[in-house]
Copies of this chain bind each other. A is one copy, B any other.
Amino acid sequence: MKKEHDIRYELSAKKLKITPQRVKVLEAIYEMDNHPTTENVIDYVRKSDPNISAGTVYNILEVLVKNDLIKKVKTEKDVMRYDGMTENHHHLYCKQCDYIEDYTNSELDKILKDYFEQNKIDNFIIDEIKLSISGNFVIHKNKNH
């Protein structure tokens, strides 16, 4: 059950020019789903648009991030990964491979929100709390996703 996206609408809502390259990059991120790297995006898009320039993909990803259409994902690797899910959510990190799964839990969000309302952090105003939960997926023991 993947969320439906009206890519052209999303771009125009941000007053971004609708170009074939932008549409394809955004489409790629939504289709691939699992937090792709820039390289993943380039490879994917080139399947339908073999001549797209790598520089263009870098540019577009930056534009999309600046306009909150996608997000950067924190990892311990030095390659950047992107996320088409812009609603606040958490991540499960596989300790055995580089798989990252989305984790949404509004009950937990509420617990945290309430906790920090009661227990403010000195000199710090919280904007967003994200959990990085690392562990092991039992399904794929010693096997990559």
Contact = CB atoms under 8 A, between A and B. Distances in A.
Contacts of A132: 74, 129-132
Contacts of A139: 123
A135 B131 contact: no
Interface string A80-100: 100000000000100100000
Chain A binding site: helix, strand, loop or mixed by DSSP? strand
Copies of this chain present in the complex amount to 2
A108 B107 CA distance: 16
A25 B51 CA distance: 45
A127 B95 contact: yes
Interface of A: 72-76, 78-80, 92, 95, 101, 103, 107-108, 111, 115, 119, 121, 123-139
Given A73-B76, A95-B127, A130-B131, 17 more contacts: A72-B76, A92-B121, A108-B119, A111-B111, A123-B137, A124-B136, A124-B138, A125-B135, A125-B138, A126-B133, A127-B134, A127-B135, A129-B131, A129-B133, A130-B132, A130-B134, A131-B131
